[in-house]
Amino acid sequence: MALTITCPICGKRNGYEFKFGGEEKGPRPDEKDLTPTAWCEYVHMNKCVAGVQEEWWFHKDGCGSWFKIHRDTTTNLEMEVPKVKHPAAKIGGGKSDEQA
């Protein structure tokens, strides 16, 4: 696997120049009346999508910007536009596992 990431400023670069920043979850919620469950949902909980997900990246060894991309977590390939929003899990026996 050889991940590449396209930085909006620097272009397509080796994935190891970047740092992963989590699934896209929207802006920080208002603190007022935020229940522990809702707080935990925002801070810790993930969907762990096996497929295309929207996610944050930081260009650590580059321009230092945070940006979002779509990436297929089953192939580690960047996607221009998500084709399906949340496809059914196609894991554990997909193409990658049989051939890898």
Which residues contact other proteins by CB under 8 A?
Answer: 1-4, 14-16, 19-22, 26-28, 30-32, 34, 36-37, 39-41, 43-50, 56, 58, 60, 64-66, 73-77, 88-89, 91-100
CA neighbor of 3 nearest in space, from 99, 49, 71, 59 = 71
Cα 65 from Cα 9, distance rounded (Å): 8
Tokens representing 82?
A: 């998500």
CB of 77 to other proteins, least distance (A): 7
Of the two residues 9 and 40, which places its CB atom closer to other proteins in the complex?
40
Of the two residues 10 and 91, which places its CB atom closer to other proteins in the complex?
91
Number of other CB atoms surrounding residue 51 within 10 Å: 21
CB of 74 to other proteins, least distance (A): 5
Residue 22, C-beta contacts closer than 8 angstroms, at least 6 positions apart: 46, 55, 56
Of the two residues 9 and 48, which places its CB atom closer to other proteins in the complex?
48
Q: Which residue has the tokens 């990658």?
A: 96
CB of 10 to other proteins, least distance (A): 15
